[in-house]
Amino acid sequence: MKILHIGAECYPMAKVGGLGDVVGALPKYQVSMGVPCAVLLPMHRTFFLQQHQWDVVHKGKICIGNADLDFTVIKKSGNSVGFDLYCLDIFGLLDREKVYGYDDDYFRFLAFQVAALHWIASLEQPPDLLHLHDHHTGLMPFMIKYCFAFSQLKNISTLFTIHNASYQGIMDEEFRNLLPAFDDWKTGMLLWNNQINSLACAIKCADSVTTVSPGYLSELYNNSFGLEQLFHQEHQKCKGILNGIDDEVWNPATDRMIAVKYEQEIVDWGKYANKMHVCNTFGFDAELPLIVFIGRLVWEKAADLLSSAIQDAFRLFPEKFNCIVLGNGDASIEQDLTLINRDYHGFYRSQIKYDEAFSHQLYASADFLLMPSRTEPCGLNQLYAMRYGTIPIVRSIGGLKDTVVDISAKNGFGICFEQLSIQEIANGVGRAIELYGNNKQVTQIRKHMMNINHSWQKSANEYIDIYRSLISSS
Ligand code: ADP
């Protein structure tokens, strides 16, 4: 059984959010469990790319519409990431600094998918199954099934994982002419609401579909940004599998990105030492609870409410807590969060950037992690926070509902709220401040959370079970 994961991100080569974490960790765990896995992603011009040795393994040509494009597949030398890592470059299209955010993204990812299949078709021993991640790979199951150029790939099974259904890869119907030739009467498989919809196409054409938490899948049946009916139609092949965390990367006892390493037995001391480090940098009083937000500053994360909610909380609980926001995203949200720096000097600081090392330092330093998400397919932040003994304050939605139990319940360890509003977020902060006053309970909760097993082991096995059943029935 040979598996090829394909996605737009893969940590440590390229990461924007949780997708990168998953594609960088799941194959590593599967390899360690005896399942040969490799990963293919576009060749983004990242620091990692420049810092490592690569060998050219394939050169080919594709034609997209009127454009003749040369592509190259490179493979990372050595095995430092725990699996074979391949990158595909198309000159002028994929070799760029950012993973997403270009006007021609639709064309870039379409060309990537076509070139990837050409490469796979050229392999002497092609994979038995493609594990495809998010809409950037969503047209591949269709092409394998219906494009004449790829008829030899028909026996390869496909599993499509939805990390985020709000990004669907939508294009005008006329872009179908950019795909390699296929029977016209199959066009309907590409479309949803008269447009090419890569996510919908994958749900229709992949052999199996998973979401990154069971809770998120049940929500998608009622609210999936227009795909509700399709999810109902295809429910038999859909399954929710909760993401895990990569213990090699996210472990306070070994994490080289944090100031002071610590284990469960000395969690209070370890967290305080790390908090001192951060508070000294920002001129905060380390005796106050430190509440952090880490994430993309976008609507889905309810980051648009953050600035008002933080101001509300400071009005209700003045000088009772410190707060740091680490993130980037929508310009107006970035601006709102920056503007309030001067009003709460000494208690609040926004860090508008993407900074992997600082995020680790914050998980280790913070007493609480705030995650008021509007939608949350799984959420890794709360799992990382728990691993570092940081208490999550979350809105109970999607994967957050699956993984965080409110302190009012038996063995509860988080602060949860149902409705999303500025007041609810501020109330959550209030409950956190109150909890922080109870040292004994905080210590118990920290130790309990650090003990919860969120390793990839279990989920990696669930995927392997699906691989086996698809491969044996193909
Ligand atoms: P999503 O994939 O929707 O962005 P997740 O919670 O699944 O959300 O994963 C987010 C990942 O991205 C986590 O690893 C988090 O630490 C990281 N992250 C998000 N924003 C930043 C940032 N500004 N700097 C560093 N890491 C970040």
Give the confidence band of 431 by pLDDT, cuts at 50, 70, 90.
very high
Distance between Cα 320 and ligand 1 center (Å): 27
- Closest-CA residue, ligand 1 atom 18, reads 295
Give the confidence band of 168 by pLDDT, cuts at 50, 70, 90.
very high
- CATH superfamily of this structure's domain 3-244+457-473: Glycogen Phosphorylase B; (3.40.50.2000)
Q: Which percentage of the chain shows pLDDT scores above 90?
A: 98
Contact 408, 331 (CB under 8 A): no
Q: pLDDT digits over 295-341, tens only?
A: 999 999 999 999 999 999 999 999 999 999 999 999 999 999 999 99
Please tell me if the CB atom of residue 351 comes closer than 6 angstroms to any atom of ligand 1. Answer: no
Q: Please report how many Cα atoms fall inside a 13 Å half-sphere around the Cα of residue 128, on the Cβ side.
A: 15
Q: pLDDT digits over 343-378, tens only?
A: 999 999 999 999 999 999 999 999 999 999 999 999
Fold agreement (3-244+457-473, 264-451): yes
What burial class does residue 239 get, using C-beta atoms within 10 Å of its C-beta: 0-12 exposed, 13-18 middle, 19+ buried? middle
The per-residue DSSP string of 228-292 comes to: HHHHHHTGGGEEE----B-TTTS-TTT-TTSSS---GGGHHHHHHHHHHHHHHHHT--TTS-EEE
The predicted structure's pLDDT at residue 79? 86
- DSSP 8-state code for residue 10: B
Q: pLDDT digits over 413-424, tens only?
A: 999 999 999 999
User: What phi and psi, each to the nearest 5 degrees, are found at residue 133?
Assistant: -120, 115
The predicted structure's pLDDT at residue 20? 98
Contact 452, 431 (CB under 8 A): no
The predicted structure's pLDDT at residue 108? 97
Mean pLDDT of 179-206: 97
Identify which of 354, 373, 459 to mutate to test ligand 1's pocket (most ligand atoms within 8 A of the CB): 354
Residues 158-175 as b/e (b if ≥16 CB within 10 A, e otherwise) read bbbbbbbbebbbbbeeeb
Q: Which percentage of the chain shows pLDDT scores above 70?
A: 100
Largest Cα–Cα distance of the chain, in whole Å?
68
Please tell me if the CB atom of residue 327 comes closer than 6 angstroms to any atom of ligand 1. Answer: yes
Model pTM score: 0.95
What atom in ligand 1 is closest to the CA of residue 326?
23
Q: Residue type at 186?
A: K
Scan for tokens 């728990």, then name that residue: 386
Mean pLDDT across the chain:
97
pLDDT at residue 138 above 80?
yes
* CA–CA gap between residue 41 and residue 87 (Å, rounded): 5
- CATH superfamily of this structure's domain 264-451: Glycogen Phosphorylase B; (3.40.50.2000)
Among the listed residues 77, 68, 9, 82, the one whose alpha carbon sits nearest the alpha carbon of residue 43: 9
Paired strand residues for 368 = 291, 391
What burial class does residue 209 get, using C-beta atoms within 10 Å of its C-beta: 0-12 exposed, 13-18 middle, 19+ buried? buried
The predicted structure's pLDDT at residue 471? 96
What atom in ligand 1 is closest to the CA of residue 381?
6
Q: Residue 458: helix, strand or coil by DSSP? A: helix
Whether residue 252 has a cis bond before it, omega within 30° of 0: no
Cα dihedral 112→117→118→119 (10° resolution): 90
pLDDT at residue 474 above 80?
no
What burial class does residue 465 get, using C-beta atoms within 10 Å of its C-beta: 0-12 exposed, 13-18 middle, 19+ buried? exposed
Please tell me if the CB atom of residue 354 comes closer than 6 angstroms to any atom of ligand 1. Answer: yes
CB atoms under 10 Å from CB of 396, counted, come to 18
* CA–CA gap between residue 36 and residue 227 (Å, rounded): 34
- DSSP 8-state code for residue 180: P
* CA–CA gap between residue 108 and residue 421 (Å, rounded): 38
What burial class does residue 250 get, using C-beta atoms within 10 Å of its C-beta: 0-12 exposed, 13-18 middle, 19+ buried? buried
Scan for tokens 């040509």, then name that residue: 61
What atom in ligand 1 is closest to the CA of residue 378?
7
Q: Residue 385: helix, strand or coil by DSSP? A: helix
Distance between Cα 261 and ligand 1 center (Å): 21
- DSSP 8-state code for residue 423: H
Please tell me if the CB atom of residue 18 comes closer than 6 angstroms to any atom of ligand 1. Answer: yes
Q: Please report how many Cα atoms fall inside a 13 Å half-sphere around the Cα of residue 453, on the Cβ side.
A: 4
Tokens of 95: 């070799």
The predicted structure's pLDDT at residue 334? 98
* CA–CA gap between residue 450 and residue 433 (Å, rounded): 21
Identify which of 334, 380, 402, 454 to mutate to test ligand 1's pocket (most ligand atoms within 8 A of the CB): 380
Domain boundaries, given as residue ranges, for the chain: 3-244+457-473, 264-451
End-to-end CA distance of the chain: 12
* CA–CA gap between residue 197 and residue 180 (Å, rounded): 17
CB atoms under 10 Å from CB of 442, counted, come to 20
Contact 340, 311 (CB under 8 A): yes
Scan for tokens 């914050």, then name that residue: 362
* CA–CA gap between residue 277 and residue 360 (Å, rounded): 13
Distance between Cα 395 and ligand 1 center (Å): 17
Distances (CA, A) of 389 to 257, 268, 359, 447: 16, 9, 14, 7
Mean pLDDT of 390-408: 97
CB atoms under 10 Å from CB of 123, counted, come to 13
Tokens of 343: 């009003």
The predicted structure's pLDDT at residue 473? 85
User: What phi and psi, each to the nearest 5 degrees, are found at residue 103?
Assistant: -60, -30
Tokens of 325: 């926001």
Please tell me if the CB atom of residue 414 comes closer than 6 angstroms to any atom of ligand 1. Answer: no
Identify which of 19, 21, 355, 395 to mutate to test ligand 1's pocket (most ligand atoms within 8 A of the CB): 21
